């Protein structure tokens, strides 16, 4: 009986030990699975967070890139517009300077030379009359009426402010006193029109010829006229309000 009781106790203890081992194993497995699940869950969360961070950085970087591209495009457009405006202003300035006579120019035109005739060149009814300011003014006006774009007399550029007046035995042009018996008048424009305005039938060259003044003309495709070297001073004129 005592022996039988011991056997039952041993079996009972064995079963309890087995159950205890099983419970411990199951608990260890649950803990392990729980830890692995937590680790996987943590890794996934971190990856999602990292991905979200990179996405945010990408979007911020792309936004800055787009802003930079837009800024560069704006600069290019402004630079192009500014360049065109500058070019337009430079062209207008050049045209204005040409119109005012402030640039050296060349082109098709004529060169007219006035000189007093020699004694042996005079006809019986002619007498020598010195070239005067009135002769030059007439010629300049005829040339302007025929479309002359630039005129000079003895390399003095004729502009709106030019004075051509007799002062004693000299002619004053652009405030310079010229003492000479020969005048060279250059004009740029249609050479045929310019020639006919002075040397056409009944033209001013006939008046000069009868006064003992010899007028000669030369056509050229490259008449060179120097710029006006004076200052455009305005003392009394102002813009109307």
Higher per-residue pLDDT: 79 or 147 = 147
- Name the pTM for this structure: 0.62
Each residue's pLDDT tens digit, 154-163: 999 998 888 8
Residue 236 lies in a domain: no
pLDDT for 110 equals 97
Examine the domain organization and report whether 146 and 199 are in the same domain. Answer: yes
Q: Last residue of some domain: 31, 65, 100?
A: 100
Question: If residue 99 lies in a helix (H) or strand (E), which one and from where to where?
Answer: helix 2-100
- Examine residue 154 and state whether it is found in any structural domain, yes or no: yes
Do 82 and 134 fall within a single domain?
Answer: no
Same-domain check for residues 137 and 213 = yes
Q: Which domain holds residue 74?
A: 1-100
Q: Which residues contact 212 (CB under 8 A, 6 or more apart)?
A: 116, 117, 122, 126, 127, 128, 129
Same domain assignment for residues 26 and 57: yes
224 close to 104: Cβ distance less than 8 angstroms:
yes
| 139 and 213 fall within a common domain | yes
Domains in the chain, number = 2
In this predicted structure, the answer to whether residue 43 has a pLDDT above a threshold of 80 is no
- Statement to judge: residues 141 and 192 lie in one domain: yes
Choice among 27-41, 59-73, 111-125, 169-183 with the minimum mean pLDDT: 27-41
User: In Å, what is the CA distance from 115 to each residue of 65, 146, 235?
Assistant: 77, 23, 37
User: Rounded distance, CA 105 to CA 187, Å?
Assistant: 11
Q: Tell whether the model's pLDDT for residue 31 goes beyond 60.
A: no
pLDDT value of residue 83: 72
Q: What is the mean pLDDT of residues 142-148?
A: 94
The per-residue pLDDT for 39 is 45
Q: Which residues lie across from 153 on neighbouring strands? A: 156, 185
CA nearest to 110, candidates 36, 217, 207, 225: 217
The mean-pLDDT minimum among 53-57, 112-116, 192-196 falls in 53-57
| Mean residue pLDDT across the chain | 76
Q: Which of 47, 82, 100 is the last residue of a domain?
A: 100
- Tens digit of pLDDT for each residue in 81-129? 667 777 777 777 677 677 778 889 999 999 999 998 877 766 766 677 7
pLDDT category at 178 given cuts 50, 70, 90 is confident
As a whole number of angstroms, the distance between CA 194 and CA 152 comes to 14
Q: Are residues 94 and 151 in the same domain?
A: no
Which of 176, 177, 179, 164 is CA-nearest to residue 130? Answer: 179
């Amino acid at each position: 009986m005592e022996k039988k009781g011991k056997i039952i106790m041993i079996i009972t203890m064995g079963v309890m030990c087995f159950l205890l081992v099983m419970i411990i194993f199951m608990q260890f497995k649950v803990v392990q699975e729980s830890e692995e699940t937590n680790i996987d869950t943590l890794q996934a969360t971190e990856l999602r967070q990292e991905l979200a961070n990179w996405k945010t950085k990408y979007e911020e970087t792309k936004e800055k890139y787009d802003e930079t591209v837009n800024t560069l495009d704006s600069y290019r457009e402004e630079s192009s517009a500014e360049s065109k405006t500058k070019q337009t202003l430079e062209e207008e300035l050049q045209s204005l300077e040409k119109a005012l006579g402030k640039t050296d120019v060349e082109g098709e035109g004529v060169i007219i030379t006035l000189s007093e005739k020699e004694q042996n060149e005079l006809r019986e009814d002619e007498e020598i009359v010195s070239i005067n300011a009135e002769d030059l003014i007439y010629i300049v006006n005829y040339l302007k009426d025929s479309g002359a774009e630039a005129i000079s007399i003895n390399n003095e550029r004729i502009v709106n402010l030019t004075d051509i007046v007799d002062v004693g035995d000299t002619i004053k042009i652009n405030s310079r006193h010229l003492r000479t018996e020969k005048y060279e008048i250059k004009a740029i424009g249609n050479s045929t029109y310019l020639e006919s305005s002075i040397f056409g039938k009944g033209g001013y060259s006939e008046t000069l010829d009868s006064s003992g003044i010899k007028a000669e003309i030369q056509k050229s495709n490259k008449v060179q006229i120097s710029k006006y070297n004076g200052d455009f001073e305005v003392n009394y004129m102002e813009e109307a309000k």
